[in-house]
Amino acid sequence: QSALTQPASVSGSPGQSITISCTGTYSDIGTYNSVSWYQQHPGKAPKLIIYDVTNRPSGVSNRFSGSKSGNTASLTISGLQADDEGDFYCSSYTGTDTPYVFGTGTTVTVL
Amino acid sequence: EEQLVESGGGLVQPGGSLRLSCVASGFSFSTYGMNWVRQAPGKGLEWVSYIGSYRPTTFYADSVKGRFTISRDNAKNSLFLQMNSLRAEDTAIYYCAKDLSSWGQGTVVTVSS
């Protein structure tokens, strides 16, 4: 199972919106609505911010939103803040005997 | 509050073995599938292994199949990863994760001579 494809880096100014893409295949993102997004600050564990494509866990800012079209999922961060800097990863269920796959990761920089 | 605490990491020579543990609290451990995920230095996340809640369903990444064994003790709210025939490329932070929703802080495994 190959890793999902994400851009290596995305940047934006405070207050702007940015979107991170996550491209898979019909066998994972294209078939299952089990896409999650994680935020990871340096030296910290990943934190779930979006699950099942569009849902936010309790306590996660509504500035984070998710969507999916075909084999590509997207994470949008609106009203960019300095604390949003870090690495972001997507994941998808695959329905195979290697049931989960992660994206390659995207580093977000706030200019 | 859900909490996952990993332990058992350390420095081991190539070909050696380690057993990682993860103790869970704050949720009904026995009703959730559990995962191990690793992150090599400066690299991205890699799913390693999954074990189902009640049935002994287990899955492994191709990179660890035949060398790693995942298990759990629901009576002790504990998850384990037995790692044998370790290689340099197994060097990573190993996280346990409940359903990939809640994560521990990780334990560091270094494979080096």
Contact B60 A57 (CB under 8 A): no
Give 10-residue mean pLDDT values along chain B (113 residues).
97 98 97 96 97 88 97 96 98 96 97 97
Q: What mean pLDDT comes out for the span A69-92? A: 97
Name the nearest CA neighbour of B22 among B91, B90, B93, B86: B93
- In the prediction, which pLDDT does A1 show? 76
Contact A48 B102 (CB under 8 A): yes
Q: What mean pLDDT comes out for the span A50-67? A: 97
Contact A46 B104 (CB under 8 A): no
> CA dist A98 to A3, B48, B57, B69, Å?
12, 9, 12, 14
- In the prediction, which pLDDT does B54 show? 76
d(CA A72, CA A22): 5
Which residues in chain B have Cβ-Cβ distances shorter than 8 Å to A48?
100-103
B43: buried, middle or exposed (CB in 10 Å: 19+, 13-18, 0-12)?
exposed
d(CA B47, CA B32): 17
